[in-house]
Every structure is written in C-alpha cells, then in structure tokens.
C-alpha cells in the first residue's frame, strides 16, 4: 500500500518587511487583504500542528498543490524554500505552484528557481520553468504528474491557465504511464471542474484539461485553491475523482473550514486500484487533529460534476 498526504494553500506568514516599491503593483491589494483578513485567520501554528500530524501518519509521499506564499515577495519565496526543507526531502515531496506563487510578473520564475528540487521530474535535465510542466515522478507503482496553472493576473483576478502545449505534454505522460499500468495522480492548483470557485478564480482551460483526462484516463486529480474539502468527478463512463482540501494554514473562525490534509491510501486490486481517502483536520477548542471523513473513491456517484 502506498500512502500519499495532500496539503495545499499554506499561505505562509507572517509577511516579511514590505517596501513602498514592493507595493507599486497588484501587491498593494494583496497586502490590504492580508492585513484585513488573512492575517487574522492564517496561522503558522496551525500549519505546524497539521504538519506534525501529517508526518506521524506514516505517509510515503507528500503532494503540495500550490499557494505556499501570499504576495510572492523575495523574502516569502525564500521562507517557503526553508519550509519545504523542513517538510521533507525533495524525493519525498512534490510541489506545483499556485496563483499566489506567481502573484506579479517575474515571481513565478523566482519560485521555480528556489523550489526546483521539489518541482522537477525524475529525468529533469534543465532548470524548472513554465515549459517543464507537467513533470513526472514515479514512486513505486504511483505516477505523480505535476501541472502548473500559475500565472500573474490583473488586480482582483486569480485565474489559472491550462493551455495547448501543456495539454499535449500531459496527454503524452498519461498515455505513457497508463501503458505501464501505474496509478496516475495529477496534481494541479486550480480545480479543473466548473462551479468549484467563482468566475474570477476559475481555471481557463477546464474543457481542455478534462478532454485529456477523458481520452487517457487517470486515477485521481488533487487540487487546492478553493480552500474547501471538495469532491468532484470527471467523466461519465470512467469517472475520475477530483479532490480538494481545506487550506493548510486556515485557523478557526474563518468562512472556510479550519486546516486539513488528505491522507490517501492506494492499493492494487484485481479490478485496478483501490483508493481510500481520509480527511484529517483540526477540531475543537484545542485544535487537535482528528479524522473528519473517510471515503472510498473506487466507486463514483450516479452523476459526475463537470
């Protein structure tokens, strides 16, 4: 059995010192949002508690689906690199970037350089950039495929982008790993389904992504961005579960659930793969981690959400 832990949207804080020059961009809006909202509900102590429980779970690998930072300041990107070092060795932790990691032009490239060891494929020969996604890592019988939807956007927008060139590469990876009989898990920041988030936060390229998945199949899609523990499905015949998770840094009292992570157990069975999902999160006044929900993802509901 392979055990995969999934967390997302750490939004690590506190913010480092911010200059007026730093705020001469979209960052000024994010800074105001942080001071008014996120600063009160996103807590490092919450992340520390969640990660300690995650490490005690005995997970074989950790998938992080983006938004490690808030404004993508240089200091934040470096702080996130140090946090990844504490989370686990690059061989055992796979990361894809989120929209906050590419908050302004140029930030995405800096994040790629800083987080390369956790965001590259097993056969990587070139520095990580937007052209090296999706990447492939194989751990046992599990194929971890990291997709990037991150791009700097206009003020008040938090959209993701999945375009033709990346779709063609994903098509090839799913085909190759499918022929090898691997359990294919796609990691992506923006939910690749409709109705998961509002219009100004949605993924542009949902139809393209779903077309690739329907054509070649996949066993599981993991995403972040919504800050909600959600479950959707792609396809009507071979249904692929699409699983979201609450923000890893979310404290109690916000409009989203307090911090959670997904613990996924993967077993090969006669009919293919058994995939069990347990959501663990912080509960009660002491914020003690506990099992919140357990699901079997091998059988889909009558209607899929597309």
* Residue bearing tokens 């959501």: 279
Please state which of the ranges 23-32, 89-98, 102-111 shows the lowest mean pLDDT: 23-32
Predicted pLDDT at 32:
46
> 2-296 sits in which CATH class?
alpha beta
Asked whether residue 20 carries a pLDDT value surpassing 50, the answer given is: no
Asked whether residue 236 carries a pLDDT value surpassing 80, the answer given is: no
At 278-292, the pLDDT tens digits run: 999 988 666 778 889
Predicted pLDDT at 300:
44
How does DSSP classify residue 164?
A: H
- Banded model confidence at residue 21, pLDDT cuts 50, 70, 90: low
Asked whether residue 272 carries a pLDDT value surpassing 70, the answer given is: yes
Query: Could you tell me the residue ranges of all domains in the chain?
Result: 2-296
Who has greater pLDDT, 250 or 210? 210
Give me the helix-helix angle, 74-87 and 107-115, nearest 10°.
Answer: 30
Sequence-ordered strand ranges (E) for 51-210: 61-64, 93-95, 135-139, 142-146, 160-161, 183-187, 203-204
123-to-110, 137, 238 alpha-carbon distances in Å:
22, 8, 30
At 106-156, the pLDDT tens digits run: 999 999 999 999 999 999 888 899 999 999 999 999 999 999 999 999 888
Predicted pLDDT at 252:
80
Provide CB contacts within 8 A for 45, sequence distance 6+: none
How does DSSP classify residue 34?
A: I
């Amino acid at each position: 059995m392979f055990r995969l832990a999934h967390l997302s949207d750490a939004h690590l804080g506190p913010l480092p010192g911010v200059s007026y020059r730093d705020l001469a961009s979209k960052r000024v809006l994010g800074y105001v949002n942080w001071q008014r909202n996120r600063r009160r509900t996103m807590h490092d102590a919450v992340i520390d508690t969640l990660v300690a429980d995650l490490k005690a779970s005995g997970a074989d690998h950790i998938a992080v689906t983006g938004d490690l930072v808030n404004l993508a300041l240089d200091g934040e990107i470096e702080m996130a690199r140090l946090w990844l070092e504490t989370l686990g060795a690059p061989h055992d932790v796979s990361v894809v970037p989120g929209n906050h990691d590419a908050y302004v032009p140029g930030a995405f490239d800096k994040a790629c350089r800083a987080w390369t060891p956790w965001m590259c494929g097993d056969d990587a020969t070139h520095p990580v950039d937007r052209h090296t996604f999706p990447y492939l890592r194989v751990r046992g019988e599990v194929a971890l495929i990291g997709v990037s939807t991150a791009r700097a956007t206009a003020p008040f927008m938090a959209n993701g982008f999945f375009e033709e060139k990346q779709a063609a590469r994903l098509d090839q990876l799913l085909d190759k790993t499918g022929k090898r009989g691997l359990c294919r898990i796609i990691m992506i920041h923006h939910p690749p389904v409709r109705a998961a988030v509002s219009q100004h936060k949605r993924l542009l390229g949902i139809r393209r992504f779903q077309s690739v998945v329907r054509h070649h199949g996949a066993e599981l899609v993991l995403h972040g961005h919504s800050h909600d523990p959600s479950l959707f499905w792609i396809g009507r015949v071979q249904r692929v579960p699409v699983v979201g998770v609450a923000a890893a840094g979310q404290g109690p009292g916000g409009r989203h659930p307090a911090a959670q992570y997904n613990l996924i157990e993967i077993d090969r069975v006669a009919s293919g793969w058994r995939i069990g999902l347990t959501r663990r999160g912080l509960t009660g006044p002491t914020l003690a981690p506990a099992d919140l929900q357990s699901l079997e993802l091998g059988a889909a509901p009558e209607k899929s959400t597309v």
